[in-house]
Chains A and B, each alone.
Chain A
């Protein structure tokens, strides 16, 4: 990738400088850094996924992403978290490679150190700090030439920071604020000890009965919260499957877009259902998988359709102008069933090929997960965002 060339430095060049390394993470999409998280020494990791899913204006979902997921599947199998939210896979890649990013920054530290204006200060610091970087780490250190933000914090005193609400940005905590925060935390802790029970958490279930599972799933803004919750419970593949089927496959599934319909259906099938090694493999019975496989073959394999239909048809291209005819096209034949009705029949049934699995999910596992979601902090955040 541009700007991420590598260069090795000797180990002793890193001695005593680790306190001045400020960790950073970068969201890279299509070779460009589109967002960065810059922290300070010893800060906790920011809630990266929450920020990406809920705050950043990234495109959510989409057949393109599904395609890219499919194409990159082999590469990402080793890093499960990378594929947990397909839309943010590049970000997750960055998260999983956080150490490497830090290594890059180590190298930048060295580069900056070479600047004369820092030199005297650094010499002094080297004497004071004895922290050493691991040798194996140093052997793989990379250099970044595009990161133009200052990486070295030369000030001796490291202030106490807090993260701005719902953001990874930081602000310094003053002693007064610290005391106030402690007071608030004490009040919260006392409240939490009041015996108000919930089946799955400490609060009563949010009484907004209108927000049932289907409402949440069908609203893209609300779904983000549910998706994030699913990720936290390690079962996001189910929501992504629902999403791909309902927001990308069903809207376009028609005879007039035969090629695209087939392509997306096949991709969904391969990614979520038929490849047991896929990290997106959903939990369902082999019977239902087989049912869907048969449906895909039936609808998209021209041979199957030809065999099923009473005889061969030729679809009028003027009616289905962009369609690729999946049926045999012997020119002279004309049948009792009209050409249009074949397309209609196809359109009626093709949208529902994944429904047996979707219905099974909605009636058991997702329903159960939704009950836990209703008592989670994310649900409260979602309600606040709606209000």
Chain B
């Protein structure tokens, strides 16, 4: 695994970084036998699409790594456009599945092309911006979008369709926000390191969250110094990508239970991050929260604070082994740069304090 090492200051006051030798050693290379206390390993865990990689990208970004430069974001054009196509395909397929007709004939033609032949190279042609936007605004597609809990769709769908005029251009260079909002399913494990002062380095490990990816987490369990567990607040009406008949909240609680009560983590600081607060607040404005949680007071269902409190209790009730004084709970909107920075700083401080206490 290619590690990225970020040191916060160089002579010009800028960040600089270097890649450590490629290694598949979870212990980080040569010092495999003894745990190096100058390095704090933090695992980002959670079920699929909980926002682990989004937070990971944000941390990279505010440490001056990678996507701050146009040249490097150019590499991601293909992935952004693939996201657009994937979303468009899923929406068109949903109209068929939900038996909602696409109303305009020209949009139906566009839908056929999307399903059969459209590829990312075609999106360099600006005319596709208009065609795709017209399809997006079609009443049939919008109705399918309103029912998006019934099928799999990326959170960034609306954002991408609203920015088609930029994306469908031969001069397109993804912005930082484009990169942050692009959905890429993480497979395997990636990590980065950065200095946190006092001669210590923090090693942040990002992992895939779907069921088959979780068996790989164990590679890092014996070296972990802190766990940040992410769960999505906005998934209360959604089912799993890998098992479409299974409720995401149930899965997230199950995974949380397994991780937080794991004997290897008894003495490890644990942070529970409720992510996608922005989406959650939008969602409960239009959808019933209490419909999914029988124990929740219906009168409070439009109050995000009450909903989050309820979710917090649900998760904390899962903790049977881990000492509660080493568990911290926070909310996050990982697509918001400032919020991510602030929350991650708090998380870092919590971990460092716990480490110091130890």
Contacts and interface: CB of A to CB of B under 8 A. Distances in A.
B79 A232 contact: no
A230 interface: yes
Interface stretch (A60-68, A301-309, A324-332, A369-377): A369-377
**Centre residue among A44, A192, A201, A238 by max chain B CB count within 10 A:** A201
Interface string B223-246: 000000000000000000111110
B189 interface: yes
A234 B186 CA distance: 11
B188 A369 contact: yes
B184 A283 contact: no
Interface in A173-209: 192-195, 197-205
A270 B289 CA distance: 40
Contacts of A238: 187
Interface stretch (A243-251, A343-351, A360-368): A360-368
Nearest to B183: A364
B14 A195 contact: yes
Nearest first, the 3 A-B pairs at minimum CB distance are A235-B188, A199-B66, A233-B188
Contacts of A200: 2, 4, 66
A253 interface: no
Contacts of A378: 22
Interface string A269-282: 00000001001011
A80 B188 CA distance: 13
A363 B75 contact: no
Q: Is the interface of A mostly helix, strand, loop or mixed?
A: loop
A315 to B, nearest CB: 31
B302 to A, nearest CB: 32
A82 B102 CA distance: 51
B65 A368 contact: no
B190 A372 contact: yes
B27 interface: no
Given A365-B184, A367-B82, 18 more contacts: A49-B24, A195-B14, A197-B65, A199-B60, A199-B66, A199-B73, A199-B75, A200-B2, A205-B75, A229-B22, A234-B219, A282-B212, A283-B212, A285-B241, A286-B242, A363-B82, A365-B186, A368-B79
B21 A201 contact: no
B51 interface: no
Contacts of A376: 2, 22
A213 to B, nearest CB: 9
Interface in B1-26: 1-2, 4, 10, 12, 14-19, 21-24
A10 interface: no
A110 B193 CA distance: 45
Using C-beta atoms within 8 Å of the partner chain, give the interface range for chain A: 35 or more
Contact of A231 (B10, B24, B86): B24
Contacts of B85: 363
Given A197-B69, A201-B19, A368-B79, A283 B185 contact: yes
Given A199-B72, A201-B2, A234 B22 contact: no
Interface in B166-201: 183-190
B99 interface: no
A287 to B, nearest CB: 6
B22 A377 contact: yes
Interface residues of B, number: 55
Contacts of B69: 197, 199
A97 B10 CA distance: 45
A234 B216 contact: yes
Contacts of A287: 152, 244
B341 interface: no
A201 B66 CA distance: 8
B112 interface: no
Contact of A283 (B19, B78, B208, B243): B208
B210 interface: yes
14 contacts: A195-B12, A195-B14, A195-B15, A195-B16, A197-B65, A202-B17, A276-B211, A282-B212, A283-B187, A283-B213, A286-B244, A364-B86, A369-B188, A377-B21
B184 A193 contact: no
A364 B184 contact: yes
Residue with the greatest number of chain A CB neighbours at <10 A, chosen from B24, B183, B219? B24
Contact of A201 (B4, B189, B211): B4
Contacts of A201: 2, 4, 19
A141 to B, nearest CB: 22
A279 B214 CA distance: 11
A49 B25 CA distance: 13
Contacts of A197: 17, 64-66, 68-69, 72
B63 to A, nearest CB: 11
A193 B18 contact: yes
Contact of A203 (B14, B19, B189, B219): B19
Nearest to B14: A195
A234 to B, nearest CB: 4
B184 A368 contact: yes
A199 B65 contact: yes
B232 to A, nearest CB: 17
Contact of B79 (A198, A203, A367, A377): A367
B18 A369 contact: no
A365 B16 contact: no
A382 B305 CA distance: 53
B67 interface: yes
Interface in B42-69: 60, 64-69
Contact of A364 (B71, B185, B219): B185
Contacts of B76: 371
Contact of A365 (B23, B187, B215, B245): B187
Contacts of B22: 229, 232, 376-378
Contacts of B242: 283-286
A283 B14 CA distance: 39
B30 interface: yes
Contact of B66 (A198, A231, A279): A198
B272 to A, nearest CB: 24
Nearest to B190: A233
A205 B211 CA distance: 33
A376 B243 CA distance: 34
Contact of B23 (A193, A232, A234): A232
